[in-house]
Amino acid sequence: MCRRCAPRAIECEARMEPVIGIDLGTTYSAVATLDSGRPFVIPSRAGARLTPSVVGFTPRGERVVGARAQILGDEMPDRVAPATKRFIGKRWSAELERAAKLVVPYPTLQGPQGEVRIKVAGRVMPVTQVSAMLLGELKLDAEAHFGRPVSKCVITVPANFDEGQRQATREAARIAGLEVLRLLNEPTAAAMAYGLVNSFEGRALVFDLGGGTFDVSVLEMDGGVYEVRATGGDPQLGGDDFDARIVQWLVAQVPDAFRDAVTKDRVSMQRLRYAAERAKRTLSDQSEALLSIGELGDHASPEPRYCQLDTALARSFYETLSEPLTTRCLDVCRQVLEAAKLSPRDVEAVMLVGGMTRMPLVRELVSRFFGRPPLSGVNPDEAVALGAAVHAAELASRQGRTLLIDVASHTLSVGVLGGTVRRLIGRNSPVPATAKEAFLPGRAGQRQARIPVFQGESEFADECTKLGEVVLSELNVGNRADVPIEVTFELSNEGTLSVRAVDTTTGMAEALRIEARTTLSATEVDALQAEQAAYSKDQAEKDKALALQTFPRVLDKAERLVRLLEKSAEEEPSEEADAAVGEVKALLAQGRVAVRLGDTAQMAEVTRLLERLVDEA
Ligand code: AMP
Kindly report, residue by residue over 572-599, the tens digit of the pLDDT: 888 888 888 888 898 889 889 888 888 8
The closest alpha carbon to 274, from 27, 24, 23, belongs to: 27
Report the first-to-last Cα separation within the chain, whole angstroms: 13
The CA 284 to ligand 1 mean position distance, Å, reads 10
Q: Is the model more confident about 552 or about 285? A: 285
Distance (angstroms) between ligand 1 centre and the Cα of 381 equals 8
Give residue 3's pLDDT. Answer: 44
Residue 454 in contact with residue 461, Cβ under 8 Å?
yes
Q: How far apart are CA 495 and CA 432, in angstroms?
A: 8
Q: State the burial class of residue 577 (Cβ atoms within 10 Å of its Cβ: 0-12, 13-18, 19+).
A: middle
Tell whether ligand 1 has an atom less than 6 A from the beta carbon of residue 82.
no
Residue 204 has a pLDDT of 96
190-210 b/e (C-beta count within 10 Å ≥ 16 → b): bbbbbbbbeebeebbbbbbbb
How confident is the model at residue 337, as a pLDDT? 96
Closest CA to 107 of 96, 123, 118: 118
Which segments within 69-213 are labelled E, that is strand? 80-82, 108-110, 116-120, 123-126, 152-157, 179-185, 202-209
CA–CA distance, 58 with 42 (Å, rounded to integer): 26
Question: In DSSP terms, which residues pair with 464 in a beta bridge?
Answer: none
User: Does the CB atom of residue 452 touch ligand 1 within 6 A?
Assistant: no
Closest atom, ligand 1, to C-alpha of 384: 3
Residue 12 pLDDT class (50, 70, 90 cuts): very low
pLDDT for 139 equals: 98
With bands split at pLDDT 50, 70 and 90, how would you rate the model's confidence at 94?
very high
pTM listed for this prediction: 0.84
Bridge partners of 498? 490
Q: How many other C-beta atoms can be found within 10 angstroms of the C-beta atom of residue 528?
A: 22
For residue 397, what is the enclosing H or E element? Answer: helix 383-397
- Tell me the C-alpha distance between 304 and 153, whole Å: 49
Ligand 1 centroid, distance to 79 Cα (angstroms): 22
Ligand 1 centroid–CA 194 distance in Å is 19
Q: Is 381 in the pocket of ligand 1 (CB under 6 A)?
A: yes
162 CB near ligand 1 (under 6 Å): no
Question: Which is higher by pLDDT, 519 or 492?
Answer: 492
pLDDT of 594? 87
**CA 461 – CA 302 distance, rounded (Å):** 49
State in Å: Cα 283 to ligand 1 middle: 12
Question: Which pLDDT score is estimated for 400?
Answer: 72
Q: Out of 93-107, 152-166, 467-481, pick the least confident.
A: 467-481
Q: Is ligand 1 within 6 A of the CB of residue 52? A: no
Residue 105, ligand 1, Cβ within 6 A: no
Specify the ligand 1 atom closest to the Cα of 212. Answer: 2
Map residue 436 onto helix, strand or coil: strand
Q: Whose CA is nearest to atom 3 of ligand 1?
A: 354
Distance CA(157)–CA(135), nearest Å, equals 13
**pLDDT bucket at 412, cuts 50 / 70 / 90:** very high
Provide the angle, in degrees to the nearest 10, between the axes of the packed helices 323-339 and 239-251.
Answer: 160
**Residue 16, pLDDT above cutoff 90:** no
> CB of 270 within 8 A of CB of 73?
yes
The atom of ligand 1 lying closest to the CA of 53 is 4
The band of 363, judged by pLDDT with boundaries at 50, 70 and 90, is very high
What pLDDT does 516 receive? 52
- Regarding the beta carbon of 211 and ligand 1, being less than 6 Å apart is answered yes
Backbone angles phi and psi of 373, in degrees to 5: -70, 155
Please say whether the beta carbons of 36 and 1 come within 8 A. yes
Closest of 501, 491, 398 to residue 450, by C-alpha: 501
Question: What average pLDDT does the segment 422-434 reach?
Answer: 91
Give Dmax over CA atoms of the chain in angstroms. Answer: 101
Beta strand segments in 144-234, E: 152-157, 179-185, 202-209, 214-222, 225-234
pLDDT over 50 at 6, yes or no: no
pLDDT of residue 53: 96
Q: Which position has the higher pLDDT, 398 or 127?
A: 127
Model confidence pLDDT, tens digit, residues 322-350: 999 999 999 999 999 998 999 999 999 99
Give yes or no for residue 355 CB within 6 A of ligand 1.
yes
The verdict on whether omega for the bond into residue 255 sits within 30 degrees of 0, i.e. cis, is no
Per-residue confidence band for 15, with pLDDT thresholds at 50, 70 and 90: low
What letters, b where the CB count within 10 A reaches 16 and e where it falls short, cover 231-247?
bbbbeebbbbbbbbbbb
CB 248 within 8 A of CB 63: no
Average pLDDT, the chain: 89
- Ligand 1 centroid distance, CA of 338 (Å): 28
- Residue whose CA is closest, atom 6 of ligand 1? 211
Is the CB of 194 within 6 Å of ligand 1?
Answer: no
Q: Does ligand 1 lie within 6 Å of residue 210's CB atom?
A: yes
Q: 284 in ligand 1 pocket by Cβ < 6 Å?
A: yes
Query: Cα-flanking dihedrals φ and ψ of residue 440, to 5°?
Result: -110, 135
Residue of the CA atom closest to atom 20 of ligand 1 = 281
User: Hey, which residues does 157 pair with through a beta bridge?
Assistant: 185
Q: Is the CB of 282 under 6 A from ligand 1?
A: no
Range name among 5-19, 414-428, 441-455, 518-532 with the lowest pLDDT average:
5-19
257-285 CB burial, b ≥16 within 10 A, e <16: ebeebbeebbbbbbbbbbbbbebbbbbbe
User: How far apart, in whole angstroms, are the C-alpha atoms of residue 404 and residue 388?
Assistant: 13
Percent of the chain exceeding pLDDT 70 equals 94
Ligand 1 near 354 CB (within 6 A): yes
Identify the weakest region by mean pLDDT among 53-67, 284-298, 487-501. 487-501
The rounded distance, in Å, linking the Cα atoms of 93 and 30 is: 30
Q: How far, in Å, is the centroid of ligand 1 from the Cα of 62?
A: 28
Question: In 3D, which of 609, 173, 235, 70 has the Cα closest to residue 388?
Answer: 173
What was the pLDDT predicted at 121? 95
Cβ of 25 below 6 Å from ligand 1: yes
CA distance 166 to 156: 10
For position 442, what pLDDT does the model report?
65
Output the pLDDT for position 469. 84
- Out of 54-58, 102-106, 439-443, 458-462, give the one with best mean pLDDT: 54-58
277 touches ligand 1 (CB under 6 Å)? yes
Cβ–Cβ contacts within 10 Å for residue 608, how many? 18
Distance CA 360, CA 365 (A): 9
Residue 237, φ and ψ in degrees, nearest 5: -135, 110
CA of 294 to the centre of ligand 1 (A): 24
How remote is the CA of residue 558 from the centroid of ligand 1, in Å? 38
- Rounded Cα distance between 60 and 173, Å, is 27
- Mean pLDDT score, 245-258: 96
The β-bridge relationship of strands 403-407 and 430-431 is antiparallel
CA of 210 to the centre of ligand 1 (A): 6
Ranking 231-245, 384-398, 603-617 by mean pLDDT, the lowest is: 603-617
pLDDT score, position 493: 79
Q: Which of 29, 104, 161, 280 to mutate to test the pocket of ligand 1 (most atoms within 8 A of CB)?
A: 280
Q: Cα of 355 to ligand 1 centre, how many Å?
A: 3
Better-predicted residue by pLDDT, 583 or 118: 118
Element (H, E) at 145: helix 127-146
Mean pLDDT of 431-440: 89
Which of 356, 358, 362 maximizes ligand 1 atoms within 8 Å of its Cβ, making it the mutation to test the pocket? 356
Q: What are phi and psi of 209, to 5 degrees?
A: -110, 105
* Residue 481 contacts residue 440 (beta carbons within 8 Å): yes
Distance from residue 231's CA to the centre of ligand 1 (Å): 22
- Ligand 1 atom closest to Cα of residue 280: 21
How much of the chain exceeds pLDDT 90, in percent? 57
CA of 208 to the centre of ligand 1 (A): 11
pLDDT reported for residue 5: 43
- In degrees to the nearest 10, what's the CA dihedral of 591, 592, 593, 598? 80
Report CA(47)–ligand 1 centroid distance (Å): 19
Distances (CA, A) of 127 to 106, 118, 379: 12, 7, 28
Ligand 1 centroid–CA 354 distance in Å is 6
Task: Provide mean pLDDT across the span 133-152.
Answer: 96
Tell me which of 346 and 502 has the higher pLDDT: 346
**Average pLDDT rounded to a whole number, residues 167-193:** 94
